[in-house]
Structure formats: structure tokens, C-alpha cells
Structure 1
Amino acid sequence: MSGYGQYQSSKINLFIILFPPLYLIHDIEEIFTVEPFLIEHLDVIPFHVTTLEFAVAFSLLWIIASIGCYQAFRERRFLGMKPVTYLSFLVPGIILANAIGHVLQFLYFKDYVPGVITSILILIPYSFVTARFLIINGKVTVKKLVTYFLIGFVVQGPLALLAHIFSSIIVE
């Protein structure tokens, strides 16, 4: 592999291994603030989750995403996706969509919402830097990233709901 090819590969691996700790930091913010936020906004959000249920749900999603990162780092497929596809779908796709969702919630409530601080300070910059690298190095097209982002916006809700269902079963 040429020097530039090794650079690209090591940079992709860096983006892959950064995901689990950055996602963990984001969800720690959510874990500690989600239950009080939901209680305060019962009039708008007719949904309740305890801190423990949210922590378990997050843990399930984090474990699955981290297994995917481990597989991608080892240059193996995960859920049928090649490492670059997995990174492209996970970061500029699902995580960027999630972060923008937090910002939109902040604009709606005109007040703090769980996860908005780490979305602005960590997830959005990480997603844009990752997307920029992938595009500049010809790993993915802008059209493909927009597609992943739109899919990410749609699938994050059902994935979170499924994780919450499992967590409520586990916690009970």
C-alpha cells in the first residue's frame, strides 16, 4: 500500500475508533438529564423513561455500534456493510441526524434539551470532519452521504424505540 493509501486507511481507522468514546460522552449527557426533562415536559412529550431504562437502552445501542466499529477497524463487514460504508452511514448518517434533531428540539423548546451541548460541541463537528474526509478522499459521494443522513433521520427513532422496549423488559 502506498504512503497516501496507508494515511487514508489510518485516518479512517481514527474516525472509527473515535466514535465509541464520543458517542459515550454524548449519551452520558442525555442519561443524566433525560428523566427530569421528560417529567418537566409531560404536557408536550407523552412519553416517560427512567434514567435506568435510558441508560440500559443507550448501552444496548452503544454495544452494537461499538461492535460495528471494532469490525470496521479490523476491515470486516458489519450488518453487510464494508468499513467505509459503515462509517459513512453511522457518523454523517445516523449521528449527524441525531445531533441535528437535538438542535431542532432546542429551537422548539427554546431551552436546554438532553444531548444538545455535546451535539453542538462534539457530534456535529466530528460528523462534518468525517464527512469532509470521506468526500475529499473519494470514499463516498455527497449524494450518498445525503442519502445516509436521510435514512439516519428515519431509522434513529425506531432504533431508539426498540432499544427502549428491550431496556424496559430488562429493567423490570
Structure 2
Amino acid sequence: MLEKLNNKLELKTVILLFPITFLIHDSEEIITMEKWVDSNIAYLYSVVPKRLQFVIESVHLTTPQIAIAVFVEFIILFFATFMLLRSLCSGVWLIFFTALLTMLFINVFTHLGQCIAFRGYTPGVVTAVFVSLPYSLYLYYRLFKAKLINWRTVTISFFVALVLFPIVPFAHFIGRTFV
């Protein structure tokens, strides 16, 4: 089955699906986040330790604020995808792109962890499991198969992803500021 998919989709096409995958996943969050947080705010404050309650405030955004935050993240992701497709070689753009892919992959498990912690649906979990997870695994597979990445690249990308993580709260800040 993978070989049939590989034959039908060029690697550049699979890479180009990254921004689309991101938008599908984050659309679920845009649609559901505000209502879910508003409905669960008291419960969130009761179960989240006081020292971590700033996280609740960071995700307590209106739908337009979330949309702006997602737009900021999308621009960064689209730029990284564009730059990688221009060169499709090793180097800084491959590391940057793979770090963003790593963030998407890890995000699946944060959504699953949230569902377990809150014993039910949390915004973004459906598309994380059914869109982001299979896509990110397939893209990793294709990048390995093309010998564009190896385990060293993935390890470096993981640490770059940790450094890039502040993009998310920065995007939330932009959303809060402009709406």
C-alpha cells in the first residue's frame, strides 16, 4: 500500500501538504477552542495546579484571536515549506522544516494527553489523531526514504523544535493584541 501511495505522490507534493494538514488540524481548534474553554474553565482551574494556571489563560482566547494566532503560525510554516521546496537539500531549511514537522508530531501526543487528563474530548484531538499523526508519520517515512533526513537530523530537529516552541505563545500574543 505504501508503495502505491509513494508512486502516486511525489515527495514535493507530500511536503506541500504540510501547510494544508496544519490548517485542517488548526481549523478544528479555531472552531471548538473558545466554546470548550468557556464550558470547562471552572473545571480547568480546579484541576490545574496554581503554578501552571497561566497555561489556562494562554489558551483562553476568542475565536478571532485563535484565528489570528493560527494565521501567524501558518505564515511561518508556509515560509519554511516554500524555502525547503526551493532547495530540497540538507541545510538550515531542512532542519527548520523538520523541526516544525516534529512539533506537529509531538502535538498529537499533547492532544491525547489532554484527553486522558480531562477524560473526554479536547479541541484538536480528532484531527490530531486522524490527520496530523498519519501525515507526519508518512512525511517522516518519505524524508527518510529519500535520504534527506536520518536519526541525527531528527534529533537535531527535536531540539530546534524546543527552541521554536515559543512561536505558539507568541502567536497567541499577536492574536490577543490585534483582536
Greater RCO (CA < 8 Å, at least 6 residues apart): 2
Same fold (TM over 0.5): yes
Between the aligned partners of 2:92 and 2:115, the Cα distance in structure 1 is: 33
- TM-score between both structures, scaled by the size of structure 1: 0.80
> Which of 39, 43, 54 pairs up with 2:66?
54
| Shift in CA distance, 11/146, structure 1 to aligned 2, threshold 3 Å | farther
2:153 to 119, 144, 147: 144
Which aligned pairs between 1:11-160 and structure 2 lie closer than 5 A? 11-43=10-42, 44=44, 46-47=56-57, 48-75=60-87, 81-82=92-93, 84-91=94-101, 93-149=102-158, 151-152=160-161, 155-156=164-165, 158-160=166-168
2:87 aligns to what SS in structure 1? coil
Provide, for residues 34-66 of structure 1, a one-character-per-residue CA deviation record: whole Å limited to 9, x for no partner. 001111222325322111100111011111211
Task: Tell me which amino acid in the other structure corresponds to 1:86.
Answer: F
Which one-letter code corresponds to 2:95 in the other structure?
T
Q: CA RMSD in A?
A: 2.5
Identity %: 27
Counterparts in 2 of 1:105 and 1:146: CA distance versus 1, 3 Å: farther
Deviation of 1:143 (Å): 4.1
**How many corresponding residue pairs?**
159
Higher helix share: 2
TM-score normalised to structure 2 length: 0.77
> 1:30, CA displacement in angstroms?
0.4
